[in-house]
Structure 1
Amino acid sequence: MTDSTTDQNRARTVRNQFILRKLVVQDGDQLIASHRWLWEKDRWKELVYSIVTYSSGLPDNEARLVVDQLDALGLLSVRRLAEADLSEDSEHSLLIEQITELLADSGLSSEARDKTVTALSQAATFFTNKYRGRVQAFLRQFGERLVEELRAGIGFSTLTPVEADLVLTYWLQNILELPLSLKDESVAEFASKHGMDIEEYIETADSMGLSVGFLDDLVNYQGRKKASLGGR
């Protein structure tokens, strides 16, 4: 890949991210209350909370406080934790030292600290090696399998395969908040209008750590709003 192509791809990514960020800024407040996972990093943070809770022996509320503090200090990056598991250099060792120090301040024994840090770095390594550090990519993979299994198992006789996928994806979005895109007409039109296909729309959301379910709802909300204003 030439430098020119790389620059063009980078510019395209920046433009796509701006389009989605603008969508969130313009209408996000209207739908935030109906979505638990606006930012995909919060799903990872919830796994960190589960690890800290059961590896440290801390009460739930204290474990939650520790995780909030780790997050506020910028110590929960999936990729940095994965690198810390694999590297001995000073920068990555420093991350482990900082996490360990905070765990010690919270009253964890040396054994509990080591247990917690090891579990965190192992989880981070898995997601980094398999899913580019994106928890949502793992969840989406299994969500798509669920859609396929449900469609085949139910065998909707009055719905087309596309309609069946919309029904099941919408259901899984609503009950499990899985990071699945409806890939419906509104989303396709929005993506096309801004020079993207649906897969690029999803990839852009993932690169920003934005929930595609939340974005789907925003796209549909904005479409309804513009229709009510006569397409303006």
Structure 2
Amino acid sequence: MKRYPRVQFRKRLRELKEEVEEMGQVTLKAQKNAMEILVNFDEEKMKSVKDAGKNIDIMNFELERRCMGIIAAEQPVAKDLRFIEACIKVGSHLKRMVSLAVNIANVAEDVKDEKLPKRPVEDLTHMSNIVQMMVSKGLYSFLDQNMNLARDLRQDDDKVDDLFDQSLTNITKSMFEDKDSISYSVYLLFVARFLERTADRAVSIGDRTIFMMTCEKP
């Protein structure tokens, strides 16, 4: 009987992990759909992304509430406390990533009737593929406590930064080549920035994972 409270505590920690994973899946789907509708607009996927934005707010609130409840009731220390704190931070990053996906979806809605320049769209698609991989890698580095995955994220981020610069160059070039495209091509600059910020959030999840496991900043 004396061990029962500890068993319950471990169960509550596993439930936190499951909640973070669920938030991660919502995030990955929202980002994927947001980029797909930039290329081929789809009302149903647009609604899905906006719904994700609403749902992730609720999920993050519930995650934070559960974390605070565990801290108050169990008074965890050391690695357990760091894990709970990390859940709060990771949840916040995932929430922000979904907000950025909603921003991309809003851009897609604004430019859905325009013929977007081919090369910048290709750049953004390539950039998005890497960013989605980074989000997945960041999520599972945390869930699996895998420091190798977490450390890889900084190199991945360098690739995203290079693609961001390339995107800016090609978008600017397309504006000079077709002055009529300026009014909507500028929206693609926003998409590049939203993707770059999402990548930064993935790196932050990796950094938090490393700190959780080692108490050292990367």
The reply to whether TM is greater than 0.5 is no
Greater fraction helix: 2
Output the TM-score relative to the length of structure 1. Answer: 0.26
